[in-house]
Amino acid sequence: MSTIKEAEQLVASLSRAQKAELLQLIVRDLGDAFPGIESAPGVMGGVPCIARTRIPVWLLEQARRLGTREAELLRNYPALTAQDLANAWAFVRANRAEIDRQITDNERDMD
């Protein structure tokens, strides 16, 4: 039996109060998880990217700061969806200092 099936059976046996407590535990455990955003050491130097792509979040944010509209980003990056951009903007809001540093590092590397 898979772990998910076992968890489903366990959750079904819990009271509503226990389910609520479990949900709070899961949310705390996920902490700073952002759906659709991945960081992997061997991909793009480990910077956060849109899931299943090699498009760094900092690149999208830099383009946005330079005036690129979302529609243009979606045209220029056909693999992106509007939800991907929403996920990226949420990540930027929560991690502004990290994104600012990545933009600065990239600009410095270009010199």
Q: Where are the domains of the chain?
A: 1-31, 37-110
Q: Which residues pair with 96 in a beta bridge?
A: none
Architecture of domain 37-110: Orthogonal Bundle (1.10)
What was the pLDDT predicted at 1? Answer: 66
Asked if residues 54 and 44 have their Cβ atoms less than 8 Å apart, the reply is: yes
Tally Cβ neighbours within 10 Å of residue 22. Answer: 14
Tally Cβ neighbours within 10 Å of residue 77. Answer: 17
Spatial distance between the Cα atoms of 80 and 51, rounded to a whole number of angstroms: 10
For residue 76, is pLDDT > 90?
yes
Q: Give the tens place of pLDDT for each residue, 16-25.
A: 988 888 887 7
49-63 average pLDDT score: 96
Give this prediction's pTM: 0.71
DSSP H or E segment with residue 50: strand 49-50
For residue 71, is pLDDT > 80?
yes
